A and B are shown apart, each in its own frame.
Chain A
């Protein structure tokens, strides 16, 4: 691996009052890597992800994303990342093309470039016939694929995906991952959370958070070897059982 890191976090911590949501996490993500960010509900994944996206200020520690400091250069960070969450992805009452134009515009892309890329992207996805269709008329799987394409429309260095495949049918889920691979091949780093343990296997490296700390970080194969189990599900189970925090 090249020593080219897109994310470097060191002792990254977020406290809410007495509660330490994310507790001194340290890790690095290589350029072009697919990095799986796993953890039980409430383990601190969302908080960590928000800090990395420049949406929330760390209480302690430091992190750089795409070469910018998340504490001091949050605005620069936002320009160089893409983000897709399960909840909000696209404007339902705009057409496919209008959504693309809007997001291209937000990232300051030239109109001509937006038009070119729109056509190319829709052709790649096989969506050309739906260019002027309202987003709300599309099936969920299509929306998710489109939302992902939108998140990397401005060629960010890194894209953050927060449970992108929740509730999606099994075929579309796999097609979604094939899109992730394509993006990764183009050099875009992918940082993804998921509750599907088979998807954890698709990542180059996986980190597992328990009680605000990263308890394991390696390739799926090495993790399975390390814990002496056959699947990522069992790795996850073994680690999550050590959780001290109440609830889940």
Chain B
């Protein structure tokens, strides 16, 4: 036990004395989250809009005036067709286009609801969502007034159709943060562990360690412990930042979430260990881990929704542990569902952890 403790202490010294590693371990998650936090400002004002009115009746006129009077909106003139609207949009002159369909008044009269379309820039999904929300509020207020003033007192809904350009699935911070957690744990556990072990091979110190009575298991576990601890610290940092800086909800079961995260960390550590058995240079270890991490980004749904992938890719994604973990994070962190809904993912992760760890331990050589 004393040997083990002293080995772990040594590992922490290596990490502490290597600025580059420290930056990757602690600054990277913070930077990713903070950058992301700045990219999605939640407060929205000065929404520049243009109007494409194909009805030109009294109702569209009145609704357009409502928008013009609202302090959150800035009127940027009217356009007469879709092409003009798109041109303004593409130039970045406007943030939103309000499209009134033809026969607005008639439809309103029949109480099928007047057709309004809101076009927004989906590449900033959060802002787009907020802007759409404001616009919907204005429209809803108008509809209510209309209803009260109407002689018949008939229910009249105007349901605007919101259309996001560039990012139709509306991937937002809520979707992105789970992906980042999955990615960072992958990088820290898998890549950094692999590099830490291969570095000893490269510098020749592994030769001295192997020539000593140390058990292979001791060497491996002592190497894994610091990265396990650091990954956990990273997890806590990300959770705190996303809760208090990005204002993400945290609705689900926290102990369950942490427990499942630990399983995922073991999966990643085992992967790192397997890589370290394959490589003899730090460069090779780095490249192979990147080769493992990149598909993990693609196939886990961190960047692209799995549902919109071709079927083959969807099948491929099922063997990515990251996919299941990201799904757990989404369910527990964002949706706040009960633990019983993530049992499938948890079992898959636990199974992968068991398989990968046994392969990694079995392939670690006790000789050169």
Do any beta carbons of A and B sit within 8 angstroms of each other in the complex?
A: no
Spell out B's residues near A (CB within 8 Å): none
